[in-house]
Amino acid sequence: MFLALKEMKRSKVRFLLLMVAVALLVFLILFQQGISSALIRDFTGAIENQTAPVLVYSVDGQRVLQASVMTPELEAEVASVPGIAASGRLGVGTFTVTADGERVDATIIGYEQPELGAPSRLVAGRLPSARYEVVATEEDRSKGFDIGDTVTVEPGGRALTVVGLARQSQLNVVPTLFTAYNTYVDAVAARNPDARTPLPNVLALTPEAGLTPEVLAERINAVDLNLDALTRQQAADKTPGVSQVKQSFAVIFLLYGLVVPLVTGLFFLIVTFQKANSLTLLRAIGAPSSRLVRSLLVQVAIVLVGGLGIGILCDVAISQGQVGSLTLEFNPGAVVFWAVLLFVLGIISSLVAARRVLAIDPIAATTGAGVGR
Amino acid sequence: MSTTNVAVDLALRMEAVRKVYRVGDSEIVALDHADLTVAPGEIVALVGPSGSGKTTLCSIAGGILSATSGRVVVGGTDISDFSSKELTAFRQSTVGFVFQSVNLVPFLTARENLLVVDELGRRTGSAARKRADAILGELGIADRANNLPSQLSGGQRQRVAIGRALMNEPRLVLFDEPTSALDTKLGEQVMTVIRNEMKNRGIAAIVVTHDERNTRYCDRTVHIVDGRLEGTSSH
C-alpha cells in the first residue's frame, strides 16, 4: 500500500485521468444499457407488463400484435385445446388521437377480461370500469394522458377518459391506452364507420392450475401450423426487431467491455515500463516481486473502483430523466453486472503489467537497465 | 532461510568464488576463483578496468547474483546455496546498496526513500521514522527530507542513497561507482561521508571505483583484472 499510494499521490493527474477515462467508459456503457432497456421496454412493455400468461397469434401476423388476425376458425381450434382455464380476445390498433390539443399516434389495446390483457403495473388510478374509460401509460402523463384527461380518437371524435396510469406499458414507443374490448371496437368504428367489426388480433389465455404457460403454448402450436402461441416473455422477446436491437447493443457492449480492460491494461503496462528503474532498484534492495505486484494491483483496484464509482454516479444522475421520448431508469442489476465484469476484466488485463514486474531481474540495477530492456 | 554460522567475525568471506556466463556454446568467466575477506568496519576499494568483474563480485557478495561455484558468507550467513526468494530476504535484511546510476525511487521523498526499506521488511513504524530522521540529520540533509529526488543535487541524492543503504543496519554495504556522476569536489565529499558513516557504525563496505583518488578513503585496495583478484594494498 505504501508504494502504491505514494506513487498515486505524486502522480495525481496521471491516475486521475485514467480514472476519468474509465468513468467515462463505464458511464457510456450504463447509459447505453439504459437506452437499450428503455427502447425495448417502450417497444414491448405492453406485452411484457400485461396480465395474460399466454398469447396466441396467427402465424401470418409474424408476432406483431396489430398484424395478427384471429379468425373464428383459429379461435375455435384454440378453444379445443385442453388445459385452458380462461380465454379472452385482444384487439390492438394504432390510432391518431388528440391529447392536450396535440395530434399524436397512440396504440389502443382492448381486452375482454382484466386477467387477460389488462396492464399489470398500474401505478395510479384504476382499471376501466365503464365504457370509454382507458388506462394510459405513465410516461405520457404530461402529454395529455394524465388521470382525468380526455383523449379523442381522430377522425370520429370518440372521447376516451383516462382513469388510470400504467408503468412501462407502451407498445411501439408511443402512448398506449388499455381499455375494454368493446371500447376498442367503438374506437375502430369511430375512425372508420364503414369498417366491419374487427376480428381480434390475439387471444389471451390462462392455463389451468398445474399447467405451465410453456406447455400450454406447445399444445396450441401442435394443433395448427397457423397458430403461434407464445408465453408472455417469449411474445415480448420475439417481437420483430427486438432481437436485432439487442444484438446491435450487444456488439456495442462487447466493444466497450473490451475497451475498458484494454485501456486499463495498457496504461499500467506503460507505467510499469516508465518506472522500470524504480522497480529494479526496489527488487535489488530486497523487495519481493509479490510485494511489487500487490502494489500494482492495489493501484489498478483503486483506479477501477474510482472510475466505476464516478461512472455509476453519473448514470444515477442521468437515469432520472428522459432521452427524447425514452424514459431512462436506474437498473441496479445492470450496474452490479457491469461493475463486477469490468473490475474483473480490468484486474485480468493488468496481469500483463504484473508479468513484466515479475520478470524484473535485480541485477539490472547494477547496469542501469530496467524491465523490458 | 537456512543459515550457517561461520567466521562470524568477518563481514564478508568469499572462497574460490567463480561466476561463469554461458553464451551459446561458449563460456565467459566473469569471476575466477575469487577469495576475499572483509572485516567489520573495514572499507575495501575494488579497482579494475571495465569488464574486469568488479560489479559481478559485488553483486555476488550482495546476493543479487548467485555464484556458479565457491562459497559466500556474509555476516556469518552462508548464502552460497540460497534460493532467489532467500536472497531477496537476505538483501532486504543484511546488506546495503548504493548503485552507480539507479539509486532513488523518483516518486518518493528523501525520507520516504529511506522508509521504503522498513516498508519492505518487518515494518517498525515510528522506530523507522526516527531512524530515518536521525540518518538524514547525520548526513546533513535533514532539511531536504521532504524533497523529491528531482529537487535534490547530485551530491544530496547520493547522500540519500547512502542513508537508504544504512536503514536496515546492514553488515555490509556495497558501493558501485558512488562518485562517477559527481564532480571532484562533490565526489570527495561523498567519499568522506561514506568513510565517516561506515567507521562510526562499524559497518564493512566495498567501494567499486575507477577513480584511484577514492582509494585513499578506503582501508585497503583490491585490484581485479579479467575476473581475478590480483593484488592488495593497504593505506
- Over residues B100-146, the pLDDT tens digits come to 876 899 999 999 999 999 888 777 788 889 999 999 998 888 999 99
Grid cell listed for A278:
524504480
Query: Which residues 6+ apart lie within 8 Å of B135 measured at CB?
Result: B114, B163, B166, B167
- Which of A3, A5, A366, A367 to mutate to test binding with chain B, by most B CBs within 10 Å of its CB? A366
Tell me, yes or no, whether A371 lies in a domain. Answer: no
Tell me, yes or no, whether A231 lies in a domain. Answer: yes
pLDDT digits (tens, 9 = 90+) for A55-94: 999 988 888 988 999 999 999 989 898 989 999 999 999 9
The whole-number pLDDT of residue A306 equals 96
What is the average pLDDT across B39-57?
A: 90
Q: Residue ranges of the domains in chain B?
A: 12-234
The whole-number pLDDT of residue A368 equals 57
Tell me, yes or no, whether A249 lies in a domain. Answer: yes
Is the Cβ–Cβ distance between A327 and A39 less than 8 Å?
Answer: no
- In this structure, the answer to whether residues A227 and A333 fall within a common structural domain is no
CA closest to A283 among chain B residues: B88
- Which of A12, A281, A290 to mutate to test binding with chain B, by most B CBs within 10 Å of its CB? A281
- In this structure, the answer to whether residues A224 and A328 fall within a common structural domain is no
Candidates A7, A284, A288; nearest CB to B107? A7
- In this structure, the answer to whether residues A309 and A179 fall within a common structural domain is no
A198 touching chain B per CB within 8 A: no
- In this structure, the answer to whether residues A305 and A192 fall within a common structural domain is no
Half-sphere exposure of A285 (CA within 13 A, CB side): 35
Average model confidence (pLDDT) for chain B? 88
The whole-number pLDDT of residue A33 equals 87
- In this structure, the answer to whether residues A116 and A255 fall within a common structural domain is no
Residue B235 CA to residue A293 CA, distance in Å, equals 46
State yes or no: pLDDT of B8 exceeds 80. Answer: no
Q: What is the pTM (predicted TM-score) of this model?
A: 0.79
Contacts of B93 in chain A (CB under 8 A): 286
Q: Which domain holds residue A230?
A: 47-237
* Cα of B192 to nearest chain A Cα, Å: 23
- In this structure, the answer to whether residues A149 and A197 fall within a common structural domain is yes
- In this structure, the answer to whether residues A233 and A261 fall within a common structural domain is no
Contacts of A289 in chain B (CB under 8 A): 88
Tell me, yes or no, whether A127 lies in a domain. Answer: yes
Cα R_g (chain A), whole angstroms:
29
A12 touching chain B per CB within 8 A: no
Which stretches of B121-152 are DSSP H helices? 126-138
Candidates A3, A284, A289; nearest CB to B116? A3
Residues 169-198 of chain B whose Cβ lies under 8 A from any Cβ of chain A? 176
B97 touching chain A per CB within 8 A: yes
State yes or no: pLDDT of A49 exceeds 50. Answer: yes
- In this structure, the answer to whether residues A161 and A295 fall within a common structural domain is no
Alpha carbon distance, N-terminus to C-terminus of chain A: 27
State yes or no: pLDDT of A369 exceeds 60. Answer: no
Cα R_g (chain B), whole angstroms:
17
For residue A373, name the pLDDT band (cuts at 50, 70, 90).
very low
pLDDT digits (tens, 9 = 90+) for B54-95: 889 999 999 999 999 999 999 889 999 999 999 999 999 899
Tell me, yes or no, whether A372 lies in a domain. Answer: no
Candidates B58, B65, B102; nearest CB to A281? B102
ipTM of the prediction: 0.87
Tell me, yes or no, whether A373 lies in a domain. Answer: no
Residue A351 CA to residue A297 CA, distance in Å, equals 8
Residue B25 CA to residue A11 CA, distance in Å, equals 47
For residue B4, name the pLDDT band (cuts at 50, 70, 90).
very low
Whether residues B55 and A365 touch (CB distance < 8 A) is answered with no
Candidates A3, A284, A368; nearest CB to B64? A284
- In this structure, the answer to whether residues A93 and A205 fall within a common structural domain is yes
- In this structure, the answer to whether residues A176 and A116 fall within a common structural domain is yes
* Cα of A45 to nearest chain B Cα, Å: 56
- In this structure, the answer to whether residues A28 and A73 fall within a common structural domain is no
The whole-number pLDDT of residue B102 equals 65
State yes or no: pLDDT of B1 exceeds 50. Answer: no
B89 touching chain A per CB within 8 A: yes
pLDDT digits (tens, 9 = 90+) for A92-149: 999 999 998 899 999 999 999 999 999 999 999 999 998 999 999 988 888 999 999 9
CA closest to A7 among chain B residues: B107
B82 touching chain A per CB within 8 A: no
Tell me, yes or no, whether A157 lies in a domain. Answer: yes
- In this structure, the answer to whether residues A246 and A354 fall within a common structural domain is yes
What single DSSP character describes residue B53? S
**Secondary-structure class of domain B12-234 per CATH:** alpha beta
In degrees and rounded to multiples of 5, residue A121 shows phi and psi of -115, 60
In degrees and rounded to multiples of 5, residue A107 shows phi and psi of -100, 135
The tally of domains found in chain A comes to 2
Tell me, yes or no, whether A250 lies in a domain. Answer: yes
Contacts of B108 in chain A (CB under 8 A): 6, 10
| DSSP string covering A26-87 | HHHHHHHHHHHHHHHHHHHHHHHTBS-SEEEEEGGGTT-TTT----HHHHHHHHTSTTEEEE
Contacts of A288 in chain B (CB under 8 A): 85, 88-89, 120
Residue A305 CA to residue A354 CA, distance in Å, equals 19
Whether residues A368 and B103 touch (CB distance < 8 A) is answered with no
- Which of A187, A221, A237 is a domain's end point? A237
Average model confidence (pLDDT) for chain A? 89
CA closest to B100 among chain A residues: A366
A10-19, A73-82, A361-370, B196-205: range with lowest mean pLDDT: A361-370
A103 touching chain B per CB within 8 A: no
Contacts of A279 in chain B (CB under 8 A): none
